[in-house]
Structure 1
Amino acid sequence: MTDMTWEESINHHRNNRKEEIMDAAFQLFLEKEMPQVTMKDISAKVGISRVTLYKYYSDIHEIIFDFQIKALREIYDFVQQKVNLGVNGTEKLNIFLKAFIEVYREKADLIAFTGFFDNYYQKIYPTHELEEKYKNFLGENTLLLNILKEGVKDHSFSSDININMTAELISHTMTAMIQRFAIRGHLISKMRNIDPEDLLIELTVVINRYLCISKQENNEI
């Protein structure tokens, strides 16, 4: 392994520091409501001065957006690795949906953060630059869209579905449910006497029923 150049070493140190800042901010966002966390809180949590903190981030919104992208990328990568094991549209969709349930079970804090993010920025993004950065990142994730296209092509799913609309429907429904359950699933379980995970499993059944090819279409193939 070759030694890093001076520039690589500086970038490595900078990236590590930014990771420390994001992770510290993440812990604070789980402890407090997002609007209540300040740059002063974050610098104290990391153990650096506010002057040093501002060398890495100009404001708290940049930290929040960087961590949101980091959290979603971790979730997407986890799901992608699972889906790669599938051999057709139906199998990949089932793996995709089950992987989201695993995410809810194993990465609840990350899911909760994405819920806090959506609530905090429910009306407007702080800057056009951050909005474009986030929009471009979201545009990179076409996994579910590709699964649906493959399923229609191999006749796993009904040929008359609107692929783009269906991908949005599934994505927003699954995301909304796991966010809600990650944040207040314990209360829902207590008040409704039902396990939120059972509801997620039932949702996967509903989605599969919606997408499955009809008997009539099967006979025509």
Structure 2
Amino acid sequence: MSLKWDSELDELRIRRRTEILDEARELFLEKGLPRVTMRDISKEVGVSTVTLYKYYKSVDEIAAEVKRQILIEMKQFFNEISTDSTAYEKIINWLKQWETYLKEKDDHVRFQAEFDLYYQSQKLEIEQGYYLELFKINGNSIPLVFEQGQNEGSIRTDFTANELTAWTFINILGIVHQLAARGPLLENDSQLSTEKMMEMTIDSVASFIKRS
């Protein structure tokens, strides 16, 4: 009887944590990370703030869990890329997939941008390496694909595969975050559409990494 009771309590805790994360995620995406409080989340979940604190110590802890959820979903999205083309073409396809992701999940990208900016000086920040661990092309890591491209002659060799990966990732993630967070303002200031800015960034990266 005790074991059954313990099992039911565990299931209840898991369901409650899921509810908290689901409601918090909607609030973060709707209102923006800096404007969500524990009181807001407890109200949406339908529990007291005291009960909420039994599951999570702060909005920061909840936000970190939500970001991990989104990154895991991103992994599935990007793992759908599959091609038998050259390593260079695989990387270009990967870059273009970011453009698709921005169109379909702009609120997710905006939350990530807010998260990285908000926690940039704190331990909650999820490092670039964590991102790169999520992304694979045909089952291979991004640095390995760059290395394959160098070996086959389609990628420049005056930088290491890791250096090219870091530079490429910083560029694509930077523009995606900027467009998600400030797209309309950037369009007004630059007179360039979001699509055009993505196209120009991808072309710039493609030209830089290609072996001449």
TM-score normalised by the shorter chain: which range applies? 0.7 to 0.9
Aligned to 1:78: 77
Q: Is the 8 A contact 1:86 1:95 kept in 2?
A: no
Q: Match for 2:98 among 71, 86, 100? A: 100
Deviates most, 194-203 or 93-102: 194-203
Matched residue SS, 2:80:
helix
Matched residue SS, 1:24:
helix
With structure 1 as the length reference, what TM-score do the two structures score?
0.80
Q: Is the 8 A contact 2:87 2:146 kept in 1?
A: yes
Aligned to 2:35: 36
| Change in CA separation of 1:33 and 1:107 when aligned onto 2, cut-off 3 Å | closer
Question: Distance in 2 between the 1:122 and 1:189 partners?
Answer: 26
With structure 2 as the length reference, what TM-score do the two structures score?
0.83
Count the aligned residue pairs: 203
Q: Is the 8 A contact 1:89 1:150 kept in 2?
A: yes
Matched residue SS, 2:64:
helix
Q: Is the 8 A contact 1:39 1:60 kept in 2?
A: yes
Q: Match for 1:175 among 173, 187, 200? A: 173
Question: What code does the residue aligned with 1:110 have?
Answer: H
Pairing 1:53-92 to 2, within 5 Å after superposition: 53-82=52-81, 84-92=82-90
Aligned to 1:156: 154
Q: C-alpha deviations, 1:66-96, integer Å up to 9, x for none?
A: 11111122223211221x3344312210110
Identity level (%):
30
Structure 1: gaps of 5 or more residues: 215-221
After TM superposition, give the deviation of residue 44 of structure 1 in Å: 0.6
Question: What code does the residue aligned with 2:105 have?
Answer: K
RMSD: 2.5
After TM superposition, give the deviation of residue 15 of structure 1 in Å: 4.0
Question: What code does the residue aligned with 1:145 have?
Answer: P
After TM superposition, give the deviation of residue 26 of structure 1 in Å: 2.3
Question: Distance in 2 between the 1:191 and 1:207 partners?
Answer: 23
Question: Distance in 2 between the 1:54 and 1:69 partners?
Answer: 20
Question: Distance in 1 between the 2:18 and 2:133 partners?
Answer: 22
Question: Distance in 2 between the 1:156 and 1:14 partners?
Answer: 52
Structure 2: gaps of 5 or more residues: 136-140
Question: What code does the residue aligned with 1:47 have?
Answer: G
Q: C-alpha deviations, 1:186-216, integer Å up to 9, x for none?
A: 12223322111211112111111112122xx
Question: Distance in 1 between the 2:130 and 2:119 partners?
Answer: 16
